[in-house]
Structure 1
Amino acid sequence: MKGMEKNVIVLAGMIGAGKSSYTEMIARELDSTAFYESIQDNRILEMFYADQARWAFALQIYFLNTRFRSIKAALRDQNNVLDRSIYEDALFTQINYEEGNISAPEMDTYLDLLDNMMEELGSLPKKSPDLLIYLRGSLDTVLKRIKQRGRPYEQINENPSLLEYYKRLHARYDSWFESYDKSATLVINIDELDITNSEDAYQVMQQIRTKLKEVHQYE
């Protein structure tokens, strides 16, 4: 089937859902290139967790810029997996706006910039991903995984206000996903599947391969 050898796949889901681990596995199994969101190079992220109102806008602009660069490169190369994409970026910005961390003028500026970026993506040979994979799970599962990976600035015991942020973000993800219309989608239930288990990893890859066959069926 035409196109099966090349795919652009983007991962979506809550902080701690396992997007980077999925990206690594999918890229290895499909012989494609992984794009990871760099935490080490992000000088703003830890400052945001310490003072959200001070750093929210700067952080969202940073993420928007890096995600725009990644999706442009992926759509040009056409054989990639991204652990986070530009398509869900506005959800985080909206939550920060609603929580008062971003002002109305800042939100308007962000949305205008995002619109310009999305228009530019439309000029590329490949306009959008082939597949978005949404890692859906309960808040309990997400919080457990955040605790397990152990980044101090993400822990709710170190910063209790983070729990409300995580709750609000988690509550909005399904509605964001339902509004996403750039590509085909696949939902993976991370409450039931754990890719550190080889049988679960096999099952997940079977789901992904089946979905990609459907995506390319009519090309």
Structure 2
Amino acid sequence: MRNVPFVAVEGPIGVGKTSLAAAIAKQFHYHLVKEIVEENPFLGKFYENMEEWSFQTEMFFLCHRYKQLEEIQHRFLQQKVPVVADYHMMKNLIFAKKTLKDHHYQKYAKIYDILIDGLPQPNIIIYLHASLDTLLARIQKRGRDFEKNIDPLYLQQLCTDYEEIFSLFEREHPHIPVLRFNGDQLDFVQRKEDLHYILERINHVIKGALS
């Protein structure tokens, strides 16, 4: 499975992960895996009261992403079917560490380590980032009811957390390519030339990393 492309698209809320993952799947004929968001019954309550609902919210996401990784492993990668996902499992720890109380996080981290043991990890990662203004504008444009109560300070700190975790990841895993794209400069949804540029870079890295 090592030479089968498994691409993960990551970045903070509203940066365009699902849109880019769908474009990659269409361009390269990969199987698209999308994270479950709106189906999480705790998410609306979480944005209203993070302290009360953070543990339930994060456990729901963790369990569903674990099941998706199992499916990726057994139904696709073992059959040599390339996959692109609009998330990386590391996001679980980013959000959990930010929202959970320490005693809850310690339990969560132990469960996380148990679940991901032996499961496939992406061999190419795309990291999308953008300014707070860009993220807020895109969140407002897509109009999800449960996101209307997002605190801009929470979102800004989330961007900082993503930068820190990806800088650490790149140092600890230099063999895994990480492509960074700035969402303030590139609008791959509205501008075809931007999408073409991104897809060309991805194609180049895929060929180089897995050849």
TM tier, smaller:
0.7 to 0.9
For residue 75 of structure 1, report the CA deviation from its aligned partner.
3.4
Secondary structure of residue in 1 paired with 2:116: helix
Calculate the TM-score normalised by the size of structure 2.
0.88
Range 189-198 or range 19-28, more displaced: 189-198
Distance in 2 separating the partners of 1:9 and 1:103 = 32
For residue 133 of structure 1, report the CA deviation from its aligned partner.
0.5
Secondary structure of residue in 1 paired with 2:117: helix
| Structure 1 stretches of 4+ moved >4 Å | none
Deviations 1:53-75 (A, max 9, x none): 11100111111111122223223
Distance in 2 separating the partners of 1:202 and 1:147 = 26
The aligned runs of 1:1-219 (5 Å cut-off) are 3=3, 6-76=4-74, 77-78=76-77, 79-96=82-99, 102-121=100-119, 127-155=120-148, 159=149, 162-180=151-169, 181=172, 183-196=176-189, 197-217=191-211
Aligned residues: 200
Letter in 2 for 1:130: N
CA contact 1:67–1:84 (8 Å) conserved in 2: no
CA contact 1:8–1:75 (8 Å) conserved in 2: no
CA contact 1:13–1:135 (8 Å) conserved in 2: yes
| Alignment root-mean-square deviation, CA | 1.8
For residue 112 of structure 1, report the CA deviation from its aligned partner.
0.4
Deviations 1:122-177 (A, max 9, x none): xxxxx42120100011122111111111113323xxx4x71121111112211111
For residue 80 of structure 1, report the CA deviation from its aligned partner.
1.0
Structure 2: gaps (5+ residues): none
Structure 1: gaps (5+ residues): 97-101, 122-126
Deviations 1:35-63 (A, max 9, x none): 11223321111111122111100111111
Distance in 1 separating the partners of 2:34 and 2:42 = 17
